[in-house]
């Protein structure tokens, strides 16, 4: 595993690791938490549902939702509808792709050296035992982690929450997903490049990636697993309002 690749072997993965695998032509990656015994807990969609946005984001969700075969270990994952935290064997999670390790507590230079977002974060991870508690807690609470949303609440957001306990609580704000935030920063940088401001665009891209990282986002707070349940229940009846009622210290290395 080098500077530009987080690829690892199955022998290297450990319980509590945040892992991911690239989907269709490296357009999007699917994330989850390895819990041991060849099992992964992850947030996904069932029944082939899409975002219903009518945009290219629909295709991204399809690419992040593996087309599970009839697996003797996992049974039939296509039997459920909606958005759910589930457990799968490692083979079903990878869906034929390679295995990668999401890195935590990386240096700023290493963070910016990564050509793609959604592969590492500046934030430190909590101990593996805490990570496993959060992942299993969500799994056994009917698998509910809110509505799956490509930009605000996706599989990467779930995995980062399990690793850190951190969530974005501000309404109408991107989640903790590095893939999404990097894409947003890149869009602005490309716009500046089109205006002939190439160097400024590069600076904006780098600043945008760092500023939106879960460790730097001012709208990120630490949320205990049990508190999250009540927030998500509020979110069912009053979308996004549940997030606004969160009370807790903002993440500043506290």
For helices 198-212 and 178-194, angle between their N-to-C axes, nearest 10 degrees: 160
Query: Quick check: 178 and 156 in contact, CB under 8 A?
Result: yes
The pLDDT-based confidence of 223 (bands split at 50, 70, 90) is confident
Q: How many CA atoms lie within 13 A of 152 on its CB side?
A: 14
Query: Catalytic residues, which ones?
Result: 30, 42, 155
Residue 41 pLDDT: 96
Q: Give CA 89 to chain center in angstroms.
A: 19
Residues 132-158, mean pLDDT to the nearest whole number: 86
pLDDT at position 240? 47
Domains along the chain with CATH numbers? 18-166+221-237 (3.90.1720.10)
DSSP 18-74: EEEEE-GGGS-EEEEEEEETTEEEEEEEETT----SSSTHHHHHHHHS-----BTTT
| pLDDT (mean) for 123-129 | 96
Q: Is the pLDDT of residue 128 over 70?
A: yes
Q: What is the pTM of this model?
A: 0.75
DSSP string, 90-131: HHHHHTT---EE-B-S--HHHHHH-SSSSSB-SSPPPPHHHH
**Rounded distance, CA 138 to CA 158, Å?**
10
Mean pLDDT score across all residues of the chain: 72
Q: What is the pLDDT of residues 176-220, one digit of tens each?
A: 444 444 444 444 444 434 444 344 444 445 555 666 677 776 678
């Amino acid at each position: 595993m080098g500077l530009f690749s987080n690829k690892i072997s199955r022998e290297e993965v450990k319980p509590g690791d945040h892992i991911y695998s690239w989907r269709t032509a490296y357009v999007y990656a699917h994330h989850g938490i390895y819990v041991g015994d060849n099992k992964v807990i992850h947030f996904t969609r069932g029944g082939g549902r899409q975002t219903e946005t009518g945009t290219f984001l629909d295709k991204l969700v399809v690419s992040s939702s593996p087309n599970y075969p009839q697996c003797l270990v996992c049974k039939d994952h296509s039997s459920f509808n909606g958005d759910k935290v589930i457990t799968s064997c490692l083979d079903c999670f990878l869906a034929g792709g390679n295995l990668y390790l999401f890195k935590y507590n990386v240096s700023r230079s290493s963070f910016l050296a990564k050509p793609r977002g959604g592969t590492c974060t500046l934030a430190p991870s909590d101990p593996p035992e805490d990570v496993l508690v959060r992942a299993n807690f969500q799994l056994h609470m009917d698998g509910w982690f809110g509505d799956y949303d490509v930009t605000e609440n996706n599989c990467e957001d779930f995995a980062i929450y399990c690793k850190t306990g951190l969530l974005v609580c501000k309404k109408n704000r991107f989640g903790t997903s590095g893939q999404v935030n990097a894409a947003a920063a890149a869009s602005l940088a490309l716009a500046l490049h089109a205006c002939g401001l190439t160097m400024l665009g590069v600076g904006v891209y780098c600043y945008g990636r760092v500023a939106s990282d879960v460790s730097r986002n001012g709208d990120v707070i630490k949320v205990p697993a049990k508190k999250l349940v009540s927030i998500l229940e509020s979110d069912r009846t009053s979308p996004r309002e549940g997030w606004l009622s969160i009370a807790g210290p903002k993440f500043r290395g506290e």
